[in-house]
C-alpha cells in the first residue's frame, strides 16, 4: 500500500467513526456473522423482529399479525408492488424521510423502491465488506469500468479511481486501457465482466504476463462472469477474480470466487429461497428455480418473499430449514431469458455458455430468439483471428442439437454487442411474449 492509499484509508475510517450515521456497526455485524457458528438462530431472530415491524406498520401485512412462518406469506413481484405500493409502504415513515431508488430496468421497465437511511448505509457497508473479497480496500488505486462518468474529478482523485469507459469495446479501448493499467500501476479492476474479460484476452494475445501489471484483485458485477472470462482474467493478471451478485433495491446478495463452491450468499441480511418455475415450492439442491429474497432490513418497503427475476441452481441449504439457501451453485440468467426450443421446451440460457466455450475465437456473444424457430447469434471474434480456427457450420450444428434440428439460425459477426441503457451487454434475449 502506497502512502497515498494509506492516508485515504485512514481518513475514511476516522471520518466514518466520527459521523453520527457511521457504517462501522454494520461492517462489524457482517464480519462477526461470518465467524458465527449459530447462524440460523441469528437469522431466525432477525426474521421475527422484521416480520413484527412489517405487521405493525403496513396495511398489507397487518392481517398476518403474529404469523412468523415465512411460508405463510405470498411471493410478491415488482408488478405486484407497483400495483399495491400504498398497501406495502410502511406507515412508520414519511416519503420525505426515505431514499428513493430506481432500478435500471435492464430487462424491463425502471421501477422505484424506498429505503430508510439506515438501509442505505447498510448497503454501503455490504459493498465495502464484499469488495474486500477481491482485495479492494477504500483508497486503493483502482480502475472502474463503466459506460458513464458519474463522479467529479475531485471525487475520483479522493477515491483513487480511474474511470475506464467501456462503452465501445475495440482496438482503441484495449490498447489505451492496457497502457493505462501499466502506467498508473492500477491494483484492482472493478466493473463489467464483458469489458474486463475481453481486455484480459487482448493482453494474453499481446504476450503480457501478470508481472507486467500491478493488479492483485478483480471485482465484476452487473453481468454474469463466465468460466471462460474468469479463467482469462486470472491468467492475464494472476490475481483473485470475484463476481459480486446484487440488486439496486436489495443490496449485495453474495459473491463467487471458487466456482466449485458457487455463490456464497449474504445470509446475514437476507433469506433466500429457490422456488420452482411454476409453483411456490422449494427446489432440491442442484435444481434450477426462481430466486426469492426476504430483505430483513427493508423496513420502508418490506420485501417479504420478493421475486428478483433471477434464476439460479440451488447449492447448500441450512440444516435447520432446508428451504433456506446458503449458497447457489450458479446463476442461470433471468426468468425472461429462458430460451424456448423449437418443440416448446424451456431451456436455461446458461447452458449455451458450454456450447460457445469450445469456439475459442469467440470473445463475446448474444443469442436472440425472434420467433419459435428463428434465432440470431451475434458474435465478436478475436482481433486478427485465423479463419481456419472457426467454422460457422459447426457452431450451427451444435446449436441445433440444443435448440432443435428445425431451428433456423442466422450468425452475424459484429464488432461489439449493443448495450442496454444500463450499460449491460445481455448474452440472451428472448423476444417471444
| Confidence band for 217, pLDDT divided at 50, 70 and 90 | very high
Most confident of 48-52, 103-107, 367-371: 48-52
Task: Give the CATH number, domain containing residue 374.
Answer: 3.30.300.30
| Residue 185 domain flag | yes
Question: Distance between CA atoms of 100 and 166, rounded to whole angstroms?
Answer: 28
Average pLDDT, integer, range 404-426: 81
Per-residue pLDDT at 391: 86
Domain that holds residue 289: 3-125+246-334
| Confidence band for 306, pLDDT divided at 50, 70 and 90 | very high
| Residue 82 domain flag | yes
Which range among 6-15, 337-346, 385-394 shows the weakest confidence by mean pLDDT?
6-15
**Strand pairing report for 362-369 and 374-381:** antiparallel
Residues 18 and 93 both lie in one domain? yes
Please give the grid coordinates belonging to residue 107: 430487462
Per-residue pLDDT at 14: 64
| Residue 130 domain flag | no
Classify 335 as helix, strand or coil. Answer: helix
Per-residue pLDDT at 88: 93
| Residue 91 domain flag | yes
Average pLDDT, integer, range 61-87: 91
Residues 352 and 395 both lie in one domain? yes
**DSSP 8-state assignment for residue 294:** E
Question: Taking 70 as the threshold, does the pLDDT of residue 10 lie above it?
Answer: no
CB atoms within 10 A of CB 77: 15
Please give the grid coordinates belonging to residue 13: 475510517
Residues 202 and 261 both lie in one domain? no
Residues 188 and 140 both lie in one domain? yes
Domain stops at, among 238, 255, 272:
238
| Confidence band for 110, pLDDT divided at 50, 70 and 90 | low
| Confidence band for 246, pLDDT divided at 50, 70 and 90 | very high
Question: Distance between CA atoms of 382 and 198, rounded to whole angstroms?
Answer: 9
Question: Taking 90 as the threshold, does the pLDDT of residue 82 lie above it?
Answer: no
Domain stops at, among 278, 299, 334:
334
Residues 288 and 267 both lie in one domain? yes
Question: Distance between CA atoms of 32 and 331, rounded to whole angstroms?
Answer: 27
Average pLDDT, integer, range 12-39: 81
Give the model confidence (pLDDT) of 373-406 as tens digits. 999 999 888 877 777 778 888 999 999 998 999 9
Average pLDDT, integer, range 261-267: 96
Domain stops at, among 334, 355, 371:
334
- How many independent structural domains does the chain possess? 3
Per-residue pLDDT at 118: 94
CB atoms within 10 A of CB 275: 19
Amino acid at each position: 500500500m502506497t502512502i497515498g492509499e494509506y492516508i485515504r484509508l485512514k481518513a475514511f475510517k476516522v471520518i466514518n467513526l466520527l459521523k453520527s450515521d457511521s457504517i462501522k456497526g454494520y461492517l462489524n455485524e457482517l464480519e462477526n456473522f461470518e465467524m458465527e457458528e449459530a447462524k440460523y438462530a441469528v437469522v431466525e431472530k432477525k426474521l421475527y423482529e422484521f416480520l413484527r415491524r412489517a405487521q405493525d406498520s403496513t396495511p398489507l401485512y397487518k392481517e398476518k399479525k403474529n404469523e412468523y412462518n415465512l411460508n405463510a406469506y405470498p411471493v410478491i413481484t415488482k408488478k405486484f408492488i407497483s400495483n399495491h405500493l400504498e398497501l406495502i409502504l410502511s406507515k412508520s415513515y414519511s416519503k420525505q424521510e426515505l431514499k428513493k431508488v430506481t432500478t435500471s430496468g435492464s430487462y424491463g421497465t425502471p421501477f422505484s423502491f424506498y429505503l430508510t437511511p439506515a438501509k442505505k448505509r447498510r448497503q454501503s457497508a455490504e459493498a465495502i465488506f464484499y469488495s474486500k473479497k477481491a482485495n479492494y480496500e477504500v483508497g486503493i488505486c483502482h480502475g472502474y469500468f463503466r459506460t458513464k462518468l458519474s463522479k467529479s474529478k475531485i471525487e475520483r482523485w479522493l477515491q483513487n479511481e480511474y474511470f475506464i469507459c467501456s462503452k465501445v469495446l475495440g482496438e482503441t479501448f484495449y490498447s489505451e486501457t492496457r497502457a493505462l493499467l501499466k502506467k498508473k500501476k492500477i491494483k484492482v479492476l472493478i466493473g463489467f465482466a464483458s469489458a474486463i474479460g475481453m481486455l484480459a484476452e487482448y493482453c494474453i494475445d499481446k504476450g503480457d504476463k501478470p508481472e507486467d501489471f500491478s493488479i492483485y484483485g478483480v471485482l465484476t458485477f452487473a453481468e454474469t462472469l463466465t468460466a471462460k472470462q474468469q479463467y482469462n482474467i486470472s491468467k492475464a493478471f494472476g490475481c483473485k477474480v470475484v463476481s459480486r451478485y446484487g440488486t439496486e433495491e436489495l443490496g449485495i446478495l453474495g459473491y463467487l470466487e471458487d466456482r466449485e463452491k458457487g455463490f456464497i450468499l449474504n445470509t446475514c441480511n437476507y433469506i433466500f429461497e429457490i422456488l420452482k418455475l411454476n409453483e411456490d415450492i422449494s427446489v432440491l439442491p442442484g435444481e434450477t428455480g426462481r430466486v426469492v429474497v426476504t430483505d430483513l432490513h427493508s423496513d420502508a418497503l418490506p420485501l417479504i418473499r420478493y421475486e428478483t427475476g433471477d434464476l439460479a441452481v440451488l447449492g447448500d441449504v441450512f440444516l435447520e430449514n432446508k428451504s433456506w439457501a446458503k449458497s447457489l451453485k450458479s446463476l442461470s440468467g433471468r426468468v425472461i431469458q429462458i430460451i424456448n426450443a423449437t418443440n416448446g421446451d424451456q431451456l436455461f440460457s446458461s447452458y449455451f455458455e458450454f456450447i460457445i466455450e469450445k469456439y475459442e475465437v469467440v470473445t463475446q456473444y448474444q443469442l436472440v430468439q425472434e420467433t419459435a424457430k428463428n434465432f440470431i447469434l451475434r458474435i465478436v471474434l478475436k482481433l486478427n483471428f485465423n479463419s481456419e480456427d472457426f467454422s460457422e457450420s459447426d457452431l450451427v450444428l451444435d446449436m441445433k442439437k440444443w435448440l432443435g434440428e428445425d431451428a433456423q439460425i442466422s450468425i452475424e459477426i459484429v464488432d461489439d454487442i449493443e448495450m442496454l441503457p444500463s450499460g449491460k451487454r445481455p448474452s440472451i434475449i428472448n423476444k417471444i411474449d
